[in-house]
Structure formats: structure tokens, C-alpha cells
Structure 1
Amino acid sequence: MRIAVTGSIATDHLMVFPGRFADQLLEGRLAAVSLSFLADRLEVRRGGVGANISFGLARLGLRPLLVGAAGVDFAEYGRWLAGAGVDTSGVRVSDALHTARFVCTTDEEHNQIATFYAGAMSEARHIDLAEAHRRRTLDLVLVGADDPEAMLRHTATAHRLGIPVAADPSQQLARLDAEQVRSLVEGARYLFTNAYESALLMERTGWSEEEVLRRVGTWAVTHGAGGVRLLTVDRPPVPVPAVVPQRVVDPTGGGDGLRAGFLAALSWGLPAERAAQLGCALATVVLESVGTQEYKLLPTDLLASVECAYGVDAARDLAPHLDGPVPDERR
């Protein structure tokens, strides 16, 4: 399966505040907040949802096409992604703007305050997905958080060309209006949101959960440590528990890892429940590392996590695709 991942390409500046944001917020004074948090650690990492998901897919042995816009400073980042196995021929490189920046501070309870600077991402609206499809047929397009006009254009192009869409509006839901959100969701084969985004999506569209499900194939709703719920119209929800991490080092990028694992398993012809299980396992690998693309991925360790969380049958289904040993049913 040839997967195109559209979405942001960014540099992450990740800081850690050794306290609780909540302790600094004064009741009755939230209308005029002026705060500064003294961070005691800074990590500068590669990021962006499009790049992160593409990187995860490449780590799992696929060669995804990354579709997005980057800046004049992209050369080294581009070599990194290409070296990992990502096809970067779909990246538009601006001749004037810098690559987008994500600046995020995390407190001791893993709450986050972040700012995103779009930079060259604003040029993603000029990318024509149809050109990539003409060069080599696309079997699935994930439309991730990006320049809003680009998200709408890619969705419309994919539907016009008959390419299945995985809608993942995530951070951009807060910026999109009702009609835009409806356009991104309507007709998607897969829809990804976290629990808060689910409520926001329904508020924006005016649709109930059932009305959303009548318009999409499978809706994957992530609940952090609570795992994933797979929703499909006229069927009971399928809960998929999370893979418990040994230690959460950095929560940034866990959702991108989940999406990469989910899409990879789908490309192998596995059902949505198995896809969610692999996604949860990969998300945990990301959570146990600092940064969103610095994790090591060992098939044997990943399969061991899957077997521990979901049983030997799940590990056996995934093993042939991960080049790992097939678990012994007698264990």
C-alpha cells in the first residue's frame, strides 16, 4: 500500500518545567494571565505531525510519501528523513520562510503549554496532491494538521481521485469553522481524534456521535493511558487498552506514533483492532524517548510488548510484518 502523509513539518523546542502549571494559575485572574515558567531542560528536536507519522511508518518498513511544506533550513532535516526511508519528493521547500516551529513546555504532571509558528507551512496550500498520484498511485492519504487551506485542498483532491482518506484534523480543530470541519470529516474512511477533540469536533460540526459515524468508516478515539476506542456505525465500540510504558520520558509525539502503527498494520491487511494494538505499542515506544523521532525500534521488543498487552495471537499476526520471531503458543 502506498500511503501519503500530509501534515506539518516542524522543529520542536521541548522544555521541562519542574513544577505544576496549575499552581501558578490564580482563580479569578485568568482573564489577564502574564506568566513565565523557568524551564530546567531544553531539547531541540525534529518534529511536525506529517514528518513524525511518516518517520514512524518508515521505521516499520514502509516507504511513505511525505507531503508538506518546509523552509530554507530543511536540507539537513530532509536528509535525515530520506535516510530513515521516507520519500520526501512531495515536500515543497520555501525559498523565503523557515520551517515551522513548535515550542512546548511540559510540567511535572505532563501537562503542556505550546505555541506553534507556521512559517513555511503556509505554503502547503500550493501543493497539488494529484501530481503525486500521477507519478505513482496513492492508496491512502492521511490528512493531518497543516495549513488549513492545504488540508481542505488535499481532502477534496483525494475524494475527487477516489483515494481513501484518513482524516486527522487534531490541533487545527480549534481554528477551523463548522463547514471546514465537515468537509474534512465527510467521507473519510478513518477518523482520528483524542477524547477532547472528539467533543470539539461534534461541537464544531453540530453532529452527534452517531451522525459522525454515519459519515466515516472507523473513528479511532484516543484516551491517553486509557488506550483507544474504535467506533463504527451500528456496532459496539471496540476498546483497545494502552501498552503501559515503563516510564514516560516525554509525551510529545505519542499520538503520531499511534497513527503510524495503525496505518502500517492496515497496509498489511490487518483489521482495525490489530492496527490499534500496534499503534498503542509504537506510541509507548515514543513516550519512553525524548523527542518524536529519536526512538529505537527493535522488532523483538515491540512484539514482546504486544504479546504482553494483547496476547500471543496479536503478536503472531504482527510478527511476519515486523521480521520478528513468531511467538510460541505454549508460552
Structure 2
Amino acid sequence: MNLYLGVFGHTALDVILKVPNLPEKDSSIAVESRVVRYGGTAANIARAAAEMDVDVSLASFVGDDFPEDYLNSLKESGVCTYDLKNMEGYNTPTCWIVNDAKGEQITIIDQAVMDHAESFELATRTMNECDILHIGTGKPDYYEKIFERTDSEKKTIAFDPAQELEYVYEPSTFEKFLRKSDYFFCNKKELKVALNYLNEDTPQGILKYVDTLVVTKGAEGSSLYLSDEKVDIPAYEPQEVVEPTGAGDAFRAGFYAGLDRGMPLVECCKTGSARASFSVECSGPQDNLVNWEEVRDRFEKID
């Protein structure tokens, strides 16, 4: 079986808390609301992409407490879960996501089983059967094995360590992985970290290492950097903003849905913006699943 996209990273449970404002150090604040949602960056991307008819495999580790309903929902969306491995004796990663009224966010994560990924077998089926490998959050020691394995296989690799870039990666490891990648995804904050690690002054400096840089900027849209140009892509204005969790993952899913259909990279970023707009209209990263036709409709309204 040949698949288009293989997504490596977290499958997690998200505990989403809403507060009036993020607390200062050594202070407390009351929670206004609490919900538990299915999440994890890799699972979010994979499920959203599958709902848009992208053939996608999810490569991730979960624990004994992984809900069967979550597994079934991934399968029902069309995600190949062969490499979603349930590891006996471990817990499933859990994120506590705190959002305030201004849209600012902090996240606390228990890596759980993913903290031991380097001791587990590689997800070889995803590596072998997928055209594009999206390397997301997770242990660099595990991903180093994947990069080594794919060196001679000419796989297209997108590197997207997300928030873990700042506290999981050493600059030397980041640079090594970046040199082996074709795409680099990040948000504005992660871009600053990347530039600092590489001793570069501008985003264009990252193009010394990869062919394509995609920077997501929330309500400001996104920026696409190529060797000869920079293109700013506006966001699609959502009907309402409930909370931002998973919007970046939704953007990536939309990007791949466009890429899978042979669309130019600028249009892929527009499909990413269109897909992300649905995500912020709900309270969980997998709560507002939409098909390609719905995304295409919003895509056509982006200037």
C-alpha cells in the first residue's frame, strides 16, 4: 500500500483550561472552563488531512490508558494506524493547555511514553510506504535514526519540531536535521529560536538549509519563503474565535491537502489558512473536522 503522507509525533490527550489571564509567577488564578479533548500534533495533522482525502499514516506511541474511542475515531477518519503503537506499561502523553481571554497560551506536557521513543522499534512501514515524512514533536534520538535510514531513500522530509525546538533540541542537532530536510515549518516564536540556533539574522538564512520555509503567524496568516521570493498569505477570518489550540496543525493538514493535489506552494499555504480557520471556531483540535470541499470554498475567498 502506497501512502502520500507519514506523520511522526505525538498522539495525546489535551486538557484545555480557560482562564481570564495567564497567571504571574508564584500566583494563582481560577479556571473558567475545562474540557478534555483528543489531541497531539501528529494525530491532529493526520486526522485533519485524512478527512480531506489525503492518504496518511500516523506514527506515534501511546500507553495503556489510550482511549479505544480515540483509536476508532482515527480509523473512521481514514488514518492508517498500523504504526500507532500501544506500549504496555506506559501512559499516553497528556497536555495541559491554558488559554486566556487575549488568545495567549501556555502548554505543560507530560511526555509519558514518548519520552522513551528511542528505545522502541522504528515505524518502518510509515517510512517505507509514504512519499512525504512529516517529522514533528518527539525525541531527537528517535528521529536521528529515521533521518539516517532515509538518507539514501530520497524521501521528501518536512521538519516541524514546534514548541519542542526551544527545550528539547540542541542547536547542533537542529542544524543537522534541518540540513536533511526539504521543508521547515514553524511559528513566529519558533522562528526566533531557529535563527538564534543557526546564528542567522533573517528568515531567508534558513534557506541555506532547506528549500522551503513556512512560518505561521496566527491571525496575521503565514509567510512562505523560497530561494527567490517571500510571499505573505493572509488568514481567512473565521466566523468566531473560540480558542487557538490545534490551528497550526490544521494549517499543516490543509497545506498537505493542497500539495497532494499538485497545487503551487502559495496555494498550499492558502488551503492551510482556510483549514486553520475552521479549527479556531471550536474548543478542541479535532472537534471541527471538515472535508476538502468545505476547505476549498474558503480557500477561494482568500485574496
- TM-score bracket, shorter-length normalisation: over 0.9
Structure 1 segment 93-132 matched on structure 2, within 5 A? 93-125=86-118, 126-132=120-126
TM-score where L is the length of structure 1: 0.85
Task: Please say if residues 92 and 127 of structure 1, whose CA atoms lie closer than 8 Å, have aligned partners that are also in contact.
Answer: no
> Aligned pair 1:304/2:288, yes or no?
no
AA aligned to 1:292 is: P
> Aligned pair 1:231/2:197, yes or no?
no
> Aligned pair 1:166/2:167, yes or no?
no
Structure 1 segment 116-195 matched on structure 2, within 5 A? 116-125=109-118, 126-134=120-128, 137-175=129-167, 176-195=169-188
* Counterpart Cα distance in 2 of 1:85 and 1:127: 24
Match of 1:4 in 2: 6
From the two aligned structures, give the one with the greater helix fraction.
Answer: 1
RMSD, aligned α-carbons: 1.6
* Counterpart Cα distance in 1 of 2:294 and 2:54: 19
Task: Please say if residues 158 and 164 of structure 1, whose CA atoms lie closer than 8 Å, have aligned partners that are also in contact.
Answer: no
Change over 3 Å in CA distance of 1:298–1:57 after alignment to 2: closer
Task: State the secondary structure of the residue aligned to 2:158.
Answer: strand
Task: Please say if residues 51 and 292 of structure 2, whose CA atoms lie closer than 8 Å, have aligned partners that are also in contact.
Answer: no
AA aligned to 1:253 is: G
What's the CA shift for 1:205?
2.4
Task: Please say if residues 69 and 122 of structure 1, whose CA atoms lie closer than 8 Å, have aligned partners that are also in contact.
Answer: no
Task: Please say if residues 52 and 291 of structure 2, whose CA atoms lie closer than 8 Å, have aligned partners that are also in contact.
Answer: no
* Counterpart Cα distance in 1 of 2:292 and 2:236: 15
Larger Rg: 1
AA aligned to 1:63 is: D
* Counterpart Cα distance in 2 of 1:267 and 1:155: 22
What's the CA shift for 1:132?
3.6
Match of 1:214 in 2: 208
AA aligned to 2:243 is: D
User: Structure 2: which 5+ residue stretches go unaligned?
Assistant: none
What's the CA shift for 1:297?
1.4
* Counterpart Cα distance in 2 of 1:132 and 1:297: 24
**Among 47, 52, 56, the residue aligned to 1:55:** 47
Task: Please say if residues 9 and 68 of structure 1, whose CA atoms lie closer than 8 Å, have aligned partners that are also in contact.
Answer: yes
Match of 1:68 in 2: 60
Match of 1:20 in 2: 21
> Aligned pair 1:253/2:246, yes or no?
yes
Match of 1:29 in 2: none
Change over 3 Å in CA distance of 1:153–1:214 after alignment to 2: same
* Counterpart Cα distance in 2 of 1:248 and 1:73: 32
What's the CA shift for 1:250?
1.4
Task: Please say if residues 65 and 88 of structure 1, whose CA atoms lie closer than 8 Å, have aligned partners that are also in contact.
Answer: yes
What's the CA shift for 1:299?
4.7
Higher relative CO (CA 8 A, sep ≥ 6), structure 1 or 2?
2
- CA-to-aligned-CA distance 1:177-203 (integer Å, 9 cap, x gap): 111111221131111011111110011
Change over 3 Å in CA distance of 1:129–1:160 after alignment to 2: farther
Task: State the secondary structure of the residue aligned to 2:186.
Answer: strand
Q: Percent identity?
A: 26
Change over 3 Å in CA distance of 1:304–1:130 after alignment to 2: closer
* Counterpart Cα distance in 1 of 2:125 and 2:152: 13
* Counterpart Cα distance in 2 of 1:130 and 1:15: 37
What's the CA shift for 1:298?
4.9
Task: State the secondary structure of the residue aligned to 1:35.
Answer: coil
- CA-to-aligned-CA distance 1:206-245 (integer Å, 9 cap, x gap): 2443432021011001111111111012x12011111011
**Among 35, 41, 49, the residue aligned to 1:43:** 35
Change over 3 Å in CA distance of 1:76–1:296 after alignment to 2: closer
* Counterpart Cα distance in 1 of 2:231 and 2:198: 24
